[in-house]
Structure 1
Amino acid sequence: MHDVARHAGVSVSTVSYVLTGARPISPATRKRVLAAMAELDYQPNAMARGLASRRSRILGLLMPMDDRGTGATETAFVTGAAEAAARAAHHLLLSPIPAGDVDALRRLASQRILDGALVMEVQMEDPRVEVLRELGVPFVLIGRTRDTTGVPFVDIDFDHTVRGAVEHLLDLGHRSIVFVNHSQEALASGYAPALRTQESFTTVMAEHGLEPLVVTAEDTAAAGRAALRTALVQCPGLSAVLAMNEHALFGVLGELALQGLKVPDDVSVVSMVTSAQVADLATPALTTMTSPGSTLGRLAVEVLLRTLEGSGGPSHQELVTCSLEVRGSSGHLRRTPERTPGGVASR
């Protein structure tokens, strides 16, 4: 740093401010310092900077993963967080520790390599909150627990999202709507998005005097096919599918075709919390309540960094809405197809 300062004709502290962003530096001076760094091939030592500042500049993204991996919708949360961290000269460490493995989380947090943590796949009663509090690790939830008192979070406004999707289908004339949710296991574990959306769907349908039909499915195409068959048995005249499980939804679409039902002529389909990239994989392209994943990832990092800098103030709590994007999979209700007892439409 002394060499860079001499070469650029500035003080060592100015070089430090350019590196850390701790104080504003004029564009001309910053450009001169960066040019000197490039000419001298100066690279700051991250470990040394961490020792001096007592900060690692590493943020942990606690994102439980299973065999299905991550698709485009989930990846948007990660890229949004990673880009925001990089802009602030921080690194993002992805940790796939399961939500219930508090011992593994305690071992990770006890190593003090994380300045703070972002918590994804939040449960209504999430044990990770107490572990992070106990160990004094600053954190922000991308999601919400049941009791949000004093808990910083950014999350999707699931009630607004469900209402928007249902009202879109109602405006098109649909009254027989099935809600395809995540698995019974996810509901039993307290997976917050699944529980919140199902509760909102039941409430909105009841407000309109309609019977709420809910089927659950594992996050696989095979489970989606089975869920659609179950829904047709329970409601042979269903005209719309609202899905909170995009992995199962592609099985739903396949089963609709197998049953001789066209989308959207016979059955309209809306996918909730889905990215545009996933929507375009289907034919016709899916109408979606589009996920704000990248925005939530960015916001979570910004909130966490303000907390680390001591400027966070009271616990930040913010809901972000999904936007309705109408594509080819939803349309006005037409004549309900006559179906055989097995569910296949007669032509």
Structure 2
Amino acid sequence: MATMQDVARLANVSIATVSFTINNTKPVAPATRAKVEAAMNELGFRRNIVGRALAGKRTRIIALLFPALQHSFSGTVVQFFTSAAAAAQELGYNLVMWPISNDAGQTTELTSSGLVDGVVLMEVQFDDPRVGELEKSGTPFVLIGRTRDPRSLTYVDIDFEGTLVLAVRHLVGLGHTRIALLDDSVGSRDLRTFGPVSRSRDSFDAEMHRLGHEPAALTCEASPKAGTAAAHELLRSFPDTTAVIVQNELAATGFVSGLRHQGIDVPGDMSVLSVGSSAEMAAMADPELTVMASPSTELGRMGVEALIDQLEGRASGLRQELVMCRLEEGRSTGPRRDRARE
């Protein structure tokens, strides 16, 4: 394995110059930097992150905290992570996913270890105990999501309230007035008062009432099997429904399949609009789902940029941004067509 001495010898520079180049601890002339980096590439030298941390008092590692054992790992989460990792790399940092629970104690173990410079927090609860621990530790952090009162925090998030209003209006514009919301029963996995679910349901109810229509709602686990069962429950509990907003990415395909098994044509008998999902997941359903696509790629990048701005001293204040989901037409929504039920 090549050493710094080998790099210095090949580049005809001092070991100190190699160290300054690797760790960015002192300015190095562009021509000299180019020689050092060329030698590193030729020798296959790999930067030692731990050594660089000891030299610069920073690891240049940031952690994305995701409670993987409590919340399903969906396609949109993959987009969040890959986008965030790419943004971190472009800005000279390494991003790791830290699959710990919502427990504040585990967050403390991470921040006290000295392994990470900052934290991107996902799956945020209204009263999230991890936020208090991060504030107490002094570790720089940003949220992808929002607490109940996020006014003093840096966050980027989906505008769930606005997205649900647009979803309702899209279906009402097609003539639907009996609309149901199917969301994710995250509460059963110890993610109670989960922001996206609570905000979306409140917005859905308020917009339906504003338009003079009675809202209907049901929930299920995040899996295709649960989605199939939810289709049966919908037809039993709300038989007059003509359109459904599904905010449960992993259940959506099973839900459509369950409707078809019950003889319900989509979208002829019932329109289905998937919210907060991805075009890739929508394409897995038959028919392909109309989707309010999650801005996962944008939010992953924005969250990392906001954190690194803090770490580099570039943040002039709190960054607080909401991004709407965007409508992408599929084949699962259409004009209302009344149907007789037995």
Tell me which moved more, 33-42 or 205-214: 33-42
Which whole-Å CA distance do the structure 2 matches of 1:321 and 1:24 have between them? 42
1:86-139 Cα deviation digits (max 9, x unpaired): 22232222111111x222221122111110001000001100000111111110
Match of 2:135 in 1: 133
TM value normalised by structure 2:
0.90
Correspondence for 1:344: none
State the Cα deviation string for residues 60-89 of structure 1 (Å, max 9, x = none). Answer: 111001377412221111111111112223
Could you tell me which of 67, 71, 75 is aligned with 2:74? 71
Partner amino acid, structure 1, of 2:212: G
Tell me the residue number matched to 1:154.
156
- SS of 1:180's partner is strand
What CA distance in whole angstroms lies between the structure 1 residues aligned with 2:70 and 2:146? Answer: 24
CA distance in 1: counterparts of 2:286 and 2:183, whole angstroms: 21
What secondary structure, in the 3-state scheme, does the structure 2 residue paired with 1:163 have?
helix
- Aligned mates of 1:166, 1:22 — CA distance in 2: 55
Tell me: CA distance 1:116–1:291, structure 2 relative to 1, closer, same or farther (3 Å).
same
Q: Distance in 2 between matches of 1:26 and 1:272?
A: 51
Residue 38 of structure 1 deviates from its aligned partner by 2.1
Deviations 1:30-76 (A, max 9, x none): 54442232234433322111011110111111100137741222111
**Counterpart secondary structure, 2:120:** strand
- 1:159-207: CA deviation from partner (whole Å, max 9, x where unpaired): 2211221111111111111100121726971100000100110111111
| C-alpha distance in 2 between matches for 1:326 and 1:269 | 11
SS of the residue corresponding to residue 339 of structure 1 reads coil
Aligned to 1:345: none
Matched, 1:323 2:313: no
- Counterpart check, 1:179 vs 2:181: yes
**Corresponding residue to 2:218 among 205, 215, 222:** 215
Q: Secondary structure at the match of 1:197?
A: helix
Counterpart of 2:265 in structure 1 is 262
In 1, the alpha carbon distance for the partners of 2:46 and 2:183 equals: 50
Give 1:220 deviation, angstroms: 2.6
Corresponding residue SS for 1:272 = strand
* SS of equivalent to 1:263: coil
Does the 8 A contact of 2:295 with 2:324 survive in 1? yes
Counterparts in 2 of 1:52 and 1:17: CA distance versus 1, 3 Å: closer
| Distance (Å, rounded) in 2 between the aligned partners of 1:202 and 1:144 | 20
Structure 1 contact 184–216 (Cα < 8 Å) conserved? no
Unaligned residue ranges in structure 2 (runs of 5+): none
Gap runs ≥5 in structure 1: 341-347
SS in 1 for 2:126: coil
Q: In structure 2, what is the Cα distance between the partners aligned to 1:315 and 1:112?
A: 24
Give the TM-score normalised by structure 1.
0.89
SS in 1 for 2:64: strand
Aligned match of 1:91 in 69, 94, 98? 94
Identify the residue that residue 117 of structure 1 maps to in structure 2: 119
Q: How far has the Cα of 1:296 moved from its partner?
A: 0.8
Please give the secondary structure, in 2, of the residue aligned with 1:169. helix
Closer, same or farther: CA 51–130 of 1 in aligned 2, 3 Å: same
Q: Which amino acid aligns with 1:151?
A: L
Aligned length: 338
Paired residue for 1:228?
A: 231
Contact kept, 8 Å, 1:177 with 1:212, in 2: the verdict is yes
- For residues 178 and 8 of structure 1, the distance between their equivalents in structure 2, rounded to whole angstroms, comes to 67
SS of the counterpart of 1:70?
A: coil
In 2, are the aligned partners of 1:291 and 1:323 still within 8 Å (CA)? yes
